[in-house]
């Protein structure tokens, strides 16, 4: 009996020792390495869960930080607690569009003194190491930091100010398989080598496979001449390995509104392709032209590129499919390159790469689904284009919040669509209003008159693992998914097998939608300028005098064509209004417009214009004999004459 007990004690001791040795260390340095090394991107992160604390309106409304009501967990003497988690983890991303000069105190592992104190604004302005640009930066209205902040027993963040508004704090929770070492300022210099490598890579504006690998990988190059209605094989690999890069030239070949060329990738013996996506959508083109130039994929003026590693077991086939059936299609002459290695996938540790593409007009009341399915894997990227379809609510569909449930548990609830893409303040000067990107996120496009926008975001250190299922969605509208929109998206993930079946691209669902109604809003942006006795008051254009009143309409974003022009009156007194329009063809004759009067009324037709391209605005002159003049309107619309 004693001998049996002794053996049991020895086994327990050995097991405890092995368990201790088996723990994976997680440090500030190891997490910095993940910011520049792609080798871990296909690897599962079992025993971890990515979650987020944010300022979202927990009642289902749209007060996601405007007033600060939902922007803190509780009040403590001298501050607001905005984050409080127990156990070991790493803060992987902090985002806000509203930084302040107030201090953030980070309390680690139950300590009563902060282990890190930094002004909120200094997380993002390149003044406080290790929060260095572009790992922590600001673009298109949003401020973000991907500097890792690990903790062993817990972390509490206290905001030392009276009011905090919008924010998101994304963190990864680790189980006992890991040994997380708490962030210490004194250890930052020792990790400077990793920090320097990450900063250098993210600052590199010349996308190249050599940026990621010390030795150039093996490469297959080919020249393809594709006729409409045919396909061509870029590479067929018949031995296990991994695709490390893909380049297609010239990038200009993928411009245009038809998007008839598809990228098709098939792994091993799978019955369906892992990737079947219009080339333009896969490489981040937006509404017919080149846009995204991210760290991992995108398009420069010279080439489209993707450097996401894609391991496979036995074989891989990469093809281009050139759908035909459209008048005027020309042959495509393309130079292609596939970079690869013979390091085959480890099925126990790595997933295969999949891209889930779809185009959809989500139902009112229902969110748009980026990805939903059962299986094991992790989510690494979203590309999204959104086009309003009602033309009176501009891009209000982008008020919608993202939502994520992992294995049936809600793990993240965002604060707005541009916030999800690390931006902020759409339709506001200096905000989310232009094609502009950072290494992992950015704005693909923004047009207020056309009612369209889009964004991209890659999850590198913050990739979201799922063991059983994932549901990743985006609302469309301020509340209850109440704005009409057409979305086109690509969801990127790794998994043991595909968890969702992509929509098949065809001419009907790949053509870029061109709206036939273009709308200008008096209170947003600067597409309208007011002169003389036409003035902007409280967000509306108001006619305040009988003469000397004019409106300039800036039409650089309006497609060529002939349009009928309408005003949307807020109020008016019945009577006569004279209007004279000057467009690219010259000044027209004065036109008499009968104003019915009353409160809100039907749109008021004031004439026709010809848009021939260029930057010369359309000018509208107003005069009236009514005393006193009374007309106010909040939008101007161009309706295309077919």
User: Quick one: three-class SS letters along 453-497?
Assistant: EEEEEECCCCCEEECCEEEEEECCCCCCCCCCEEEEEEEEEEECC
Distance CA 451, CA 279 (A): 24
Q: What is the pLDDT of residues 415-468, one digit of tens each?
A: 999 999 999 999 999 999 999 999 999 999 999 999 999 999 999 999 999 999
pLDDT digits (tens, 9 = 90+) for 47-81: 999 999 999 999 999 999 999 999 999 999 999 99
Tell me what pLDDT residue 642 has. 83
Residue 7: pLDDT band with limits 50, 70, 90: very low
Return the higher-pLDDT residue of 470 and 571.
Answer: 470
Query: CB count, 10 Å around CB of 315?
Result: 15
With vertex at residue 356, the alpha carbon angle to CA 350 and CA 357, rounded to the nearest 5 degrees, is: 155
- Per-residue confidence (pLDDT) for residue 18, from 0 to 100: 39
Asked whether residue 103 carries a pLDDT value surpassing 70, the answer given is: yes
**pLDDT category, 391, cuts 50, 70, 90?**
very high
Architecture of the domain defined by 209-515: Sandwich (2.60)
State yes or no: pLDDT of 19 exceeds 80. no
| pLDDT mean over 569-591 | 90
298, containing H or E segment:
strand 297-299
How far apart CA 193 and CA 180 sit, in angstroms, is: 20
Topology given in CATH for the domain delimited by 21-203: Jelly Rolls (2.60.120)
The pLDDT of 133-143, averaged and rounded, is 98
- Which ranges of 264-348 does DSSP label H, i.e. alpha helix? 279-282
pLDDT at position 600 is 66
pLDDT score, position 3: 43
List of residues 6+ apart from 596 with CB closer than 8 A: 572, 574
* Total residue length of the chain: 642
What per-residue confidence (pLDDT) applies to 573?
78
CA-wise closest residue to 151 among 176, 132, 171: 171
Comparing 237 with 584, the larger pLDDT belongs to 237
Percent of the chain predicted with pLDDT > 70 = 96
Instruction: Classify residue 367 by burial, with Cβ atoms within 10 Å: 0-12, 13-18, 19+.
Output: buried
Contact 435, 443 (CB under 8 A): yes
Summary mean pLDDT of the chain: 95
Structure tokens given for 166? 């919008």
Task: List pLDDT tens digits, range 287-297.
Answer: 999 999 999 99
What's this model's pTM, rounded to 2 decimal places?
0.94
Encoded tokens for 98: 């509203």
The CATH number of 518-640, from 3.10.620.30, 1.20.1250.20, 2.60.120.260, 3.30.1330.30, is: 2.60.120.260
Q: What are phi and psi of 562, to 5 degrees?
A: -105, 135
Tens of pLDDT, residue by residue over 365-377, are 999 999 999 999 9
Question: Each residue of 309-319: pLDDT tens digit?
Answer: 999 999 999 99
How many angstroms from the chain centroid is the CA of residue 6?
A: 60
Q: How far apart are CA 304 and CA 293, in angstroms?
A: 9
Confidence class for position 599, pLDDT limits 50, 70, 90: low
- Beta strand pairing status for 241-249 and 310-312? antiparallel
Residue 574 clears pLDDT 80, i.e. is over it: no
| pLDDT score of 184 | 97
| Residue % of the chain over a pLDDT of 90 | 90
Instruction: Summarize pLDDT for 481-525 with one digit per residue, the tens.
Output: 999 999 999 999 999 999 999 999 999 999 999 999 999 999 999
Distance CA 607, CA 592 (A): 10
Each domain of the chain, given as residue ranges in start order, spans 21-203, 209-515, 518-640
Closest of 514, 612, 606, 515 to residue 562, by C-alpha: 612
* Same fold across 209-515 and 518-640: yes
- The pLDDT assigned to 596 comes to 85
């Amino acid at each position: 009996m004693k001998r049996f007990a002794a053996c049991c004690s020895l086994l327990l001791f050995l097991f405890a020792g092995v368990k201790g040795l088996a723990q994976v260390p997680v440090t500030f340095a190891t997490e910095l390495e993940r910011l520049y090394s792609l080798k871990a991107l296909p690897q599962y992160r079992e025993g971890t869960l990515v979650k987020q604390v944010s300022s979202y309106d927990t009642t289902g409304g749209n007060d996601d930080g405007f007033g600060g009501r939902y922007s803190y967990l509780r009040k403590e003497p001298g501050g607001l607690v905005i984050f409080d988690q127990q156990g070991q983890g790493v803060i992987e991303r902090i985002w806000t569009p509203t930084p302040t000069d107030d201090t953030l105190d980070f309390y680690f592992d139950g300590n009563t003194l902060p282990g890190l104190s930094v002004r909120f604004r200094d997380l993002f302005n390149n003044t406080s190491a290790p929060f260095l640009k572009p790992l922590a930066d600001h673009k298109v209205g949003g401020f973000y930091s991907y500097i890792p902040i690990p903790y062993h027993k817990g972390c509490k963040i206290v905001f030392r100010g009276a009011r905090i508004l919008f924010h998101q704090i994304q963190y990864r929770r680790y189980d006992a398989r890991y040994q997380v070492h708490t962030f210490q300022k004194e250890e930052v210099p020792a990790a400077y080598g990793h920090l320097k490598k990450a900063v250098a890579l993210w600052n590199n504006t010349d996308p190249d496979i050599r940026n990621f690998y010390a030795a150039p990988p093996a490469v297959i190059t080919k020249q393809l001449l594709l006729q409409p209605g045919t396909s061509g094989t870029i590479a067929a690999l018949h031995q296990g390995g991994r695709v490390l890069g893909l380049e297609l030239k010239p990038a200009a070949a993928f411009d245009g509104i038809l998007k008839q060329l598809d990228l098709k990738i098939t792994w091993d013996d799978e019955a369906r392709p892992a990737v079947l996506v219009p080339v333009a959508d896969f490489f981040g083109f937006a509404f017919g032209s080149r846009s995204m130039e991210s760290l991992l994929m995108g398009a420069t003026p010279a080439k489209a590129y993707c450097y996401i590693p894609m391991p496979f077991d036995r074989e891989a086939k990469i093809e281009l499919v050139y759908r035909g059936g459209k008048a005027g299609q020309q042959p495509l002459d393309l130079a292609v390159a596939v970079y690869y290695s013979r390091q085959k996938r480890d099925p126990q540790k790595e997933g295969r790469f999949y891209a889930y593409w779809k185009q959809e007009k989500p139902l009112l009341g229902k969110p748009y689904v980026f990805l939903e399915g059962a299986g094991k894997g992790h989510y690494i990227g979203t590309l999204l284009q959104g086009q309003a379809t009602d033309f009176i609510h501009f891009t209000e569909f982008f008020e919608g919040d993202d939502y994520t449930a992992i294995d049936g548990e809600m793990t993240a609830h965002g604060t707005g669509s541009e916030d999800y893409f690390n931006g902020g303040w759409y339709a506001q000067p200096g905000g989310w209003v232009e094609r502009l990107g950072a290494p992992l996120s950015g704005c693909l496009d923004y047009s207020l008159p056309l009612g369209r926008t889009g964004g991209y975001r890659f999850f590198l250190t913050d990739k979201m693992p799922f063991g059983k299922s994932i549901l990743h969605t985006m609302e469309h509208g301020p509340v209850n998914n109440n704005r009409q929109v057409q979305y086109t998206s690509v969801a990127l993930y790794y998994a043991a097998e595909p968890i969702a079946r992509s929509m098949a691209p065809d001419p009907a669902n790949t053509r870029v939608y061109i709206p036939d109604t273009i709308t200008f809003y008096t209170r947003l942006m600067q597409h309208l300028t007011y002169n003389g006795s036409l003035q902007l008051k409280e967000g509306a254009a108001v006619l305040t005098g009988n003469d000397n009143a004019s409106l300039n309409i800036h039409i650089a974003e309006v497609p060529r064509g002939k349009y009928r022009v309408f005003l949307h009156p807020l109020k008016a007194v019945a009577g006569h209004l004279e209007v004279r329009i000057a467009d690219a063809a010259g000044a027209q004759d004065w036109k008499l417009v009968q104003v019915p009067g009353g409160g809100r009324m039907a749109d008021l037709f004031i004439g026709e214009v010809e848009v021939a391209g260029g930057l010369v605005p359309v000018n509208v002159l107003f005069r009236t004999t009514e005393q006193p003049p009374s007309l106010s309107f909040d939008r101007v619309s161009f309706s295309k004459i077919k």
